[in-house]
């Protein structure tokens, strides 16, 4: 890997190496820019990942965040990774595409926000992202007949098989899910990525390389093209010059503060850490928009109990989906949701039973004893922005003396109506598949919207290209920029947005 001196001014510093930072780093390096990525977490060799859920927490951002509101969001393993590759180290690799309607939520429903561009603009980048990640999927996609996937779908797990049965009985269409999971081995940037072996431990890190992470895709490409990645480098200060442009960052590595001068800064630290860094440095905060409009996807789960053992923890979890509820005809809410099959490891399941189901003591132990007889379904639903849902700096500081983030989230009437609708549908699917009882577990997922993109500078933090409205050499490319949550899970769109922003950053640099 090329090394720059800390005193050398580089063209661009990228903070964070997740689904936003890694593609930008690779694109800028390929175009010949001098680029350095600063990543708070360590490097992980995929061979070192362990299915043990307690040990696997090393790939999560475990430093405490304060969670408030009536529906406080769960952090730790439920949200955001820490390491070279960011959250893609532990993501589920479920990669549905957003459709045109999701990007036009306000126009279609009068609620929420439209994206500043439509699907025509985003699609080429989504296709490129699918190619780079290695996305598998069905030969026939019922909701988009033109769609093609390069690899056949992953094998269905028990939850997917029961979901298929239940949906068939109810006349709901399903398809094998698009997933950034190789079903045939391939060599990528000199790394051998194996085919999926259906072990089911994707959230603890994939040991075969079948699941795409930034560490098996864009980051090796970036290094090969001349980028430097500094791991264990926590950025805490952004320095600006007399006219307010960024000219250096200061990061802490092994207890030492190091200053890195740069001509431009790309923040890709995620939906919590990017606004936290901006607020702590009073950067781009003039419009009062940083940290506002926090969005979390309703991610309610329903688990059904069957007479026979199911062992839904085996196999690639998100192997079946339905897009039939993106705009339900009988909806009393704006937007819609996807339903996917689930598969989780025991500790994750136990945590969700406690947190989302309110179980404790003997009732919890009985539910865990019966877990192998259950299969589950979950949603990813639209969430509307609300002035009450926001990230602010708390009065408490973390291990490095930086104020902790405090995130408030309360589901509004729209989210509650969507969850009611989805819960009813999921219960009916499981009952039609033969479940003898069902259990609903409340959950939210993902951290979006806290530096949203907007055409009007008064309504967001960055423009449609990801460039700050206030500081012209500052860019944000992580999922804090989503103006609306979308029903599609965020990472594929995140990679596509990052590829698009990279083109704009290059244009600005020339
Ligand atoms: C359990 C789980 C499952 C998921 N499954 C899916 C899925 O199946 N499909 C999907 O689409 N999405 C999924 N997601 C969501 C998806 O992974 C994220 O939306 C996406 O990866 C976020 O990318 P990002 O670039 O915004 O941030 P991140 O990937 O979180 O990257 C941020 C990086 O910045 C680093 N960083 C933060 N602060 C600093 C700092 N101050 N200095 C230096 N470095 C810093 C962090 O260490 C981290 O590596 C899942 C998420 C979780 C938690
Ligand atoms: S199920 Fe497949 S993608 Fe997931 S961790 Fe195992 S091999 Fe990797």
Ramachandran bin of 231, using left for φ above 0, alpha for ψ from -120 to 50, beta for the remaining angles: beta
* Contacting residues for 129 by C-beta, under 8 A, at least 6 apart: 23, 492, 495, 496, 499
Closest CA to 1 of 314, 264, 223, 173: 223
Query: Of all atoms in ligand 2, which is nearest to the CA of residue 205?
Result: 5
- For the chain, the average pLDDT equals 97
Handedness of CA 483, 467, 24, 150 (dihedral sign): positive
The CB of 161 under 6 Å from ligand 2? The reply is no
Q: Where are the beta strands (DSSP E) in 175-294?
A: 175-176, 186-188, 191-193, 228-231, 234-240, 246-253, 256-267
CB-based contact 297:483 (threshold 8 Å): no
Of all protein residues, whose CA lies closest to atom 7 belonging to ligand 2?
Answer: 196
Q: Is the pLDDT at 6 greater than 80, yes or no?
A: no
Strand order in the sheet with 437-441: 175-176, 320-322, 337-341, 374-381, 301-305, 437-441
Report the range of poorest mean pLDDT among 79-88, 105-114, 427-436, 484-493: 79-88
In degrees, rounded to 5, the angle at the alpha carbon of residue 299 between the alpha carbons of residues 296 and 303 is 165
Of all protein residues, whose CA lies closest to atom 3 belonging to ligand 2?
Answer: 211
pLDDT tens string 256-310: 999 999 999 999 999 999 999 999 999 999 999 999 999 999 999 999 999 999 9
Query: Of all atoms in ligand 1, which is nearest to the CA of residue 92?
Result: 8
C-alpha distances in Å from residue 263, one per residue of 35, 193, 227, 241, 246: 10, 36, 15, 11, 7
Q: Which of 59, 78, 91, 230 to mutate to test the pocket of ligand 1 (most atoms within 8 A of CB)?
A: 91
**Ligand 1 lining (C-beta closer than 6 Å):** 15-21, 38-41, 78-83, 86-88, 90-94, 203, 234-235, 268-271, 273, 277, 318, 446, 478-479, 489-492, 494
Q: Where are the beta strands (DSSP E) in 47-110?
A: 66-68
Closest CA to 393 of 493, 492, 285: 285
- Cα separation, 374 vs 353, whole angstroms: 13
The H or E element containing residue 92 is: none
- Residue 103 is predicted with a pLDDT of 98
Q: What is the CA radius of gyration of the chain?
A: 22
Of all protein residues, whose CA lies closest to atom 21 belonging to ligand 1?
Answer: 87
For 367-398, letters b (16+ CB in 10 Å) and e give: beeebbbbbbbbbbbbbbbbeebbbbbbeeee
* Domains annotated on the chain, with CATH: 10-509 (3.50.50.60)
Quote the ligand 1 centre to 364 CA distance (angstroms). Answer: 30
Of all protein residues, whose CA lies closest to atom 8 belonging to ligand 2?
Answer: 206
Of all protein residues, whose CA lies closest to atom 49 belonging to ligand 1?
Answer: 86
Quote the ligand 2 centre to 31 CA distance (angstroms). Answer: 33
Of all protein residues, whose CA lies closest to atom 8 belonging to ligand 1?
Answer: 92
The CB of 181 under 6 Å from ligand 2? The reply is yes
pTM: 0.97
C-alpha distances in Å from residue 360, one per residue of 8, 137, 346, 365: 56, 39, 15, 8
pLDDT tens string 116-170: 999 999 999 999 999 999 999 999 999 999 999 999 999 999 999 999 999 999 9
- Residue 223 is predicted with a pLDDT of 98
Query: Of all atoms in ligand 1, which is nearest to the CA of residue 491?
Result: 11
CB-based contact 67:28 (threshold 8 Å): no
Quote the ligand 1 centre to 38 CA distance (angstroms). Answer: 15
Ligand closest to the CA atom of residue 204: 2
Of all protein residues, whose CA lies closest to atom 12 belonging to ligand 1?
Answer: 491
Q: Where are the beta strands (DSSP E) in 431-485?
A: 437-441, 444-448, 474-476
- Residue 128 is predicted with a pLDDT of 98
- Cα separation, 28 vs 145, whole angstroms: 34
Q: Name the β-bridge partners of 340.
A: 321, 378
- Cα separation, 333 vs 105, whole angstroms: 12
């Amino acid at each position: 890997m090329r090394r720059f001196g800390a005193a050398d001014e580089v063209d661009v510093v990228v903070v964070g190496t997740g689904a936003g930072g890694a593609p930008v780093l690779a694109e800028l390096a390929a175009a010949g820019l001098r680029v350095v990525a600063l990543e708070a977490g360590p490097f992980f060799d995929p061979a070192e990942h362990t299915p043990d859920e307690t040990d696997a927490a090393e790939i999560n951002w475990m430093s405490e965040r304060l969670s408030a509101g009536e529906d406080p969001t769960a952090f730790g393993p439920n949200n955001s990774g820490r390491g070279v590759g960011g959250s893609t180290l532990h993501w589920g690799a479920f990669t549905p595409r957003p459709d045109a309607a999701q990007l036009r939520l306000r126009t279609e429903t009068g609620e929420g926000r439209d994206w500043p561009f439509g699907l025509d603009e985003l699609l080429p980048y989504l296709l490129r992202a699918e190619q780079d990640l290695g996305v598998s999927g069905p030969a026939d996609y019922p909701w988009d007949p033109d769609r093609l996937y390069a690899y056949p779908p992953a094998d269905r797990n028990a939850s997917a098989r029961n979901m298929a049965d239940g949906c068939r009985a109810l006349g709901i269409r399903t398809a094998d899910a698009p997933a950034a999971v190789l079903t045939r081995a391939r060599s990528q940037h000199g790394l051998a990525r194996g085919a999926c072996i259906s072990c089911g431990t994707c959230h603890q890190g994939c040991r075969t390389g079948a699941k795409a992470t930034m560490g098996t895709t864009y980051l090796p490409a970036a290094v090969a093209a001349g980028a430097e990645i500094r791991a264990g480098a926590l950025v805490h200060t952004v320095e600006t010059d007399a006219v307010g442009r960024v000219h250096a960052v200061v990061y802490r590595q092994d207890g030492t503060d190091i200053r890195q001068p740069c001509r431009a800064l790309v923040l890709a630290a995620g939906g919590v850490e990017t606004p936290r860094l901006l607020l702590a440095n009073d950067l781009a905060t003039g419009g009062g928009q940083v940290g506002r409009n926090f969005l979390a996807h309703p991610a309610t789960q329903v688990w059904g109990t069957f007479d026979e053992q199911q062992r839904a923890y085996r196999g690639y979890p998100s192997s079946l989906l339905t897009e039939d509820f993106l705009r339900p005809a009988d909806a009393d809410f704006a937007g819609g949701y996807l339903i996917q099959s689930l598969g989780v490891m025991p500790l994750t399941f136990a945590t969700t039973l406690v947190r989302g189901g309110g179980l404790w003591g003997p009732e919890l132990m009985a539910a865990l004893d019966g877990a192998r007889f259950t299969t589950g379904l979950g949603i990813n639903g639209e969430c509307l922005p609300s002035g009450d849902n926001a990230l602010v700096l708390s009065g408490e500081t973390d291990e490095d003396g930086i104020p902790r983030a405090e995130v408030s989230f309360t589901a509004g009437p729209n989210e509650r109506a969507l969850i009611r609708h989805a819960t009813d549908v999921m219960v009916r699917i499981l009952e039609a598949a033969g479940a003898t009882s069902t259990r609903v577990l409340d959950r939210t997922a993902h951290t979006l919207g806290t530096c949203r993109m907007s055409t009007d500078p008064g309504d967001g933090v960055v423009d449609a290209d990801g460039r700050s409205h206030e500081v012209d050499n500052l860019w944000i490319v992580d999922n804090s920029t989503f103006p609306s949550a979308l029903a599609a899970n965020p990472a594929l769109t995140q990679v596509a947005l990052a590829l698009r922003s990279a083109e704009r950053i290059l244009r600005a640099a020339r």
